[in-house]
Structure 1
């Protein structure tokens, strides 16, 4: 069996490969100067599932039940997009922001959220939270008659768009 085909964990084989540096392999029986290039696969066959990326319901449940956290977030965001399309911009964008914030809360509280888990738990919570908060704040500041007024933004706008 060639040294390149030896997998980690099989220490009992006399030609077990040891890693010298990135991209090279030296066998235990080979002289120190002889190193061969490591053969990496051309295509990745599998990736690790993100933390919490397991099913949100038992495996024998139907697919929608297994992915209910993702379906909740997509439904709320989809409804928000539909409202925005029907010229209810403030209500629609507010619903989109709330949907993303709900995704952050679900990712934080539930141990398994199915396809709602994209990266690590921390990265997902921060990403969903920042985007949801930004969209919600912008929805509250939509003109005319904004529900949220931040005084320094008007001064900042006048400073950046000067005559």
Structure 2
């Protein structure tokens, strides 16, 4: 009779790096230079949050949304983006671009005095808010 084990069989021996997950600069470059795409997105997002902290909500959130859209553009355009690559290229593009677009649209529609008015939203919200 064979030896039984309670452990599940070991099917996965290693985790594959995401597509585009290589270094964005040569290996002998310092760590910040190797991760410049991620640092650019994080730095721009931090700048947007700082702008929000200084009471310019709409402009700050626009900067945050544009930082995510910029991250999607970097992920699409560059073959190697370092730690900005989280999943497959398609998933990263969809996530960064979709969240960035949603943040930009919400910032444009923020009250009071929205910069973007979508007429059918008044009808949709008529029964829930008013």
TM score, norm. by length of structure 1: 0.72
Determine the structure 2 residue equivalent to 1:116: 84
Q: Which has the larger radius of gyration?
A: 1
More helix by share: 2
| 1:37-116 alignment, distance < 5 Å | 46-116=14-84
Q: CA deviation at 1:41?
A: 7.9
Residue of structure 2 equivalent to 1:131: 99
TM (norm. structure 2) is 0.89
Structure-2 residue corresponding to 1:157: 125
Give the Å deviation of 1:36. Answer: 5.3
Shift >3 Å, 4+ stretches: 33-42
Higher relative contact order (CA 8 A, sep 6+): 2
Unaligned 5+ runs, structure 2: none
Seen in structure 2, the aligned counterparts of structure 1 residues 159 and 77 have a Cα distance that, compared at 3 Å, is same
- Secondary structure of 1:122's counterpart equals helix
